[in-house]
Amino acid sequence: MWTLLATRRFGPLFVTQLLGAFNDNLFRTALVFIVAYDLAAADPKAAALLATTAAGLFIAPFFLFSGLAGSLADRRDKAAICRLVKLMEIGFMGLGWLALALGSINLALAVVFLMGCHSTLFGPVKYAILPQHLREDELIAGTGLVEAATFVAILLGQVAGGLLATAAVGPITLALAGIGWLAARAIPSAPPEQPGRPINWNPLATSRAALATAFGNRRLLVATLAISWFWALGAIYTSQFVPMARNVMGGTEAVATLFLAAFSVGIALGSIVVGRWLKGRISTRLCAGAGLVMALAGGDLWFSVPAVGSAPKDMAMFFANPAGWRVLADLFALALAGGVFSVPLYGVLQTAGPAQKRASAIAANNIINSLFQVAAVLGAGAAIGAGLGAVPVLALSGLTVLLLLPALRQLDRA
């Protein structure tokens, strides 16, 4: 598996993806911290509103332009699209540097939207290009490494965004965008399966076509719904780490960061080891079992979190309590199983449909994925606002995987 990183057919794409995801999260997190602790320090409601606005602006392009992004990736050289996207990122990060230097929230929010467009265009490419450059027995390993890189980059970007001085964020993100462009230049050509097909520039029409591709193939449909459920669950959990740590367990910011780290590292590790367990085969035989582990780990949180107690505690006090270790083990087990759950499903997305529509199938997944995440976070927020509590919401969210198990078993038999 690790030898793939040293190959030109995978290594440059891996670096490009890692740096792009890191930059997205570094800039957005830095913006949230600047607003919360500087520009709107005296108005928590305004700070929360701006944070929500930034999240919405980043995810909006996935609704609007994923179909178009998939259509482009199916009709043009995917390596050329990677290079174009990275050039765009250099320009966007230059604007981001200017926004932070001027203290312009409006310009910074515009940059967040543009970075969402950057990720939307790159999303179908990073998975659709792998079957062209990797052997079939390498595909699960390569997909797992891309998935692992995504979650590690999210973690590191969010941590760095909270720690770096405002003046350092702009030049660092611009430099990393430049390195990402250099890496993208080394990605080998990946021409379309059917050259010369015209591009439909209508975002609505291309989105409908992408969704028709996914919903017209049962294997693609089940994989899309299961992956979208997984990302929705992740959105619920990561949105509740801080409230759960602070309000339920009396933990400091460091405890909340520890939860995020355990969750991200667990998914990354699961994404890597599943390739070894499957021995390179594209198979979903582990998905139902992994889903069951996620449900059990999420259910155990219902009992382990209250056992920690609500008294104020720092990291040392958290670890001094055996129940704290149990909470951490639950989160890590759930995340590890999540990596095992999701990577084979991406393998299905890459191989179950016609090669000339591979990127469109992945684009359809991104559209449904975004809808699931928004609906899940809003639904969880409404349930908590109604008095259900963060911990029951997390536990019940994990148990919803039981609804997917029959379809996953059918997918495995297919």
Contact 372, 232 (CB under 8 A): yes
How many beta carbons lie within 10 A of that of residue 202, not counting itself? Answer: 13
| pLDDT recorded at residue 414 | 67
- Across the range 83-89, mean pLDDT stands at 95
Q: What percent of the chain has pLDDT over 90?
A: 48
**Banded model confidence at residue 44, pLDDT cuts 50, 70, 90:** low
Residues 283 and 181: their CA atoms lie apart, in Å, by 34
**Banded model confidence at residue 315, pLDDT cuts 50, 70, 90:** confident
Print the SS3 string covering the chain. Answer: CHHHHHCCCCHHHHHHHHHHHHHHHHHHHHHHHHHHHHHCCCCHHHHHHHHHHHHHHHHHHHHHHHHHHHHHHHHCCHHHHHHHHHHHHHHHHHHHHHHHHHCCHHHHHHHHHHHHHHHHHHHHHHHHCHHHHCCHHHHHHHHHHHHHHHHHHHHHHHHHHHHCCHHHHHHHHHHHHHHHHHHHHCCCCCCCCCCCCCCCCCHHHHHHHHHHHHHCCHHHHHHHHHHHHHHHHHHHHHHHHHHHHHHHCCECHHHHHHHHHHHHHHHHHHHHHHHHHHCCCCCCCCHHHHHHHHHHHHHHHHHHHHHHCCCCECHHHHHHCHHHHHHHHHHHHHHHHHHHHHHHHHHHHHHCCCHHHHHHHHHHHHHHHHHHHHHHHHHHHHHHHCCCCHHHHHHHHHHHHHHCHHHHHHHHHC
**Banded model confidence at residue 287, pLDDT cuts 50, 70, 90:** very high
Q: What is the pTM of this model?
A: 0.88
| pLDDT recorded at residue 332 | 94
**Residues forming beta bridges with residue 313, ordered by sequence position:** 251
Contact 368, 232 (CB under 8 A): no
| pLDDT recorded at residue 36 | 63
Residue 285 has pLDDT above 70, yes or no: yes
pLDDT tens sequence across 206-221:
999 989 988 888 999 9
Residue 43 has pLDDT above 70, yes or no: no
Residue 355 has pLDDT above 90, yes or no: no
pLDDT tens sequence across 5-31:
889 999 999 999 999 999 998 998 888
User: Please, which residues have CB within 8 angstroms of residue 389's CB and are 6 or more apart in sequence?
Assistant: 248
End-to-end CA distance of the chain: 27
Residue 45 has pLDDT above 90, yes or no: no
- Across the range 227-249, mean pLDDT stands at 84
**How high does pLDDT run on average in the chain?**
88
Domains and CATH numbers, the chain: 1-190 (1.20.1250.20), 202-414 (1.20.1250.20)
| pLDDT recorded at residue 195 | 81
| pLDDT recorded at residue 30 | 85
Identity of the residue numbered 18 = L
